[in-house]
């Protein structure tokens, strides 16, 4: 076959007047759990958070929930309040607003995290990446890079970590 335009397997091409650009006719997609999946398909890792949803955020390894109580952001096994987070998206970044205080989850400027800001600005931006069957990683901008959210030595505080090896895995359960 001398003429690529005659091959039915070529799904798209530029034109006979330019260099050929072939696009595969088959793609493979990895299924990322979403809140639209049936409950049994997402129970183990929760669903990927979506703007407009409200979530409880669980640390997968400990089972503790992210909560804001008396101004303190910590992982707790059975928080009294401050454990529901509204998800928003702005400029392509996710943000999480604690529903009682109205404060955003964000960086504290000292390699830790807090929930004190009232606006979704750079320190309150997050990217969510799928961590296989385990759950999700949270990353946030740090100067000219993205760093992961990890857990401090006390097992309760959130810290900034430079390596995915130290990143916490999270589960988002819609409420």
Q: Which residues are paired to 150 by β-bridges? A: 159
**Of 77, 45, 44, nearest in space to 156 by CA:** 77
The pTM of the whole model exceeds 0.85: no
Measured from the Cβ of residue 103, the count of other Cβ atoms closer than 10 Å reads: 20
Helical spans, DSSP H, in 1-140: 39-42
CA atoms within 13 A on the CB side of 8: 0
Q: What was the pLDDT predicted at 47? A: 83
Which tens digits make up the pLDDT trace of 122-137? 999 999 999 989 999 9
Q: What is the pLDDT of residues 31-73, one digit of tens each?
A: 444 444 444 434 466 789 999 999 999 999 999 999 999 999 9
Please tell me whether residue 109 adopts helix, strand or coil conformation.
coil
Pick the CATH number of 46-174 from 2.60.40.10, 3.40.50.2020, 2.80.10.50, 3.20.20.60: 2.80.10.50
Helix (H) or strand (E) holding 40: helix 39-42
């Amino acid at each position: 076959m001398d003429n690529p335009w005659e091959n039915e397997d070529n799904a798209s091409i530029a034109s006979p007047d330019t260099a050929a650009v072939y696009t595969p006719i088959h793609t493979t997609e990895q299924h990322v759990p979403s809140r639209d999946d049936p409950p049994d398909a997402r129970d183990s890792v929760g669903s990927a958070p979506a703007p407009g949803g409200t979530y409880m955020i669980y640390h997968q390894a400990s089972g503790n929930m992210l909560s804001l109580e008396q101004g303190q952001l910590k992982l707790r096994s059975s928080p009294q309040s401050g454990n529901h987070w509204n998800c928003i998206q702005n400029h392509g970044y996710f943000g999480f607003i604690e529903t009682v205080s109205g404060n955003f989850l964000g960086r504290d400027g000292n390699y830790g995290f807090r929930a004190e800001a009232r606006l979704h600005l750079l320190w309150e931006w997050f990217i969510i990446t799928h961590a296989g069957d385990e759950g999700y990683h949270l990353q946030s901008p740090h100067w000219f890079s993205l760093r992961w959210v990890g857990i401090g030595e006390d097992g309760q505080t959130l810290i900034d970590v430079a390596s995915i090896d130290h990143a916490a895995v999270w589960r988002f359960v819609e409420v």
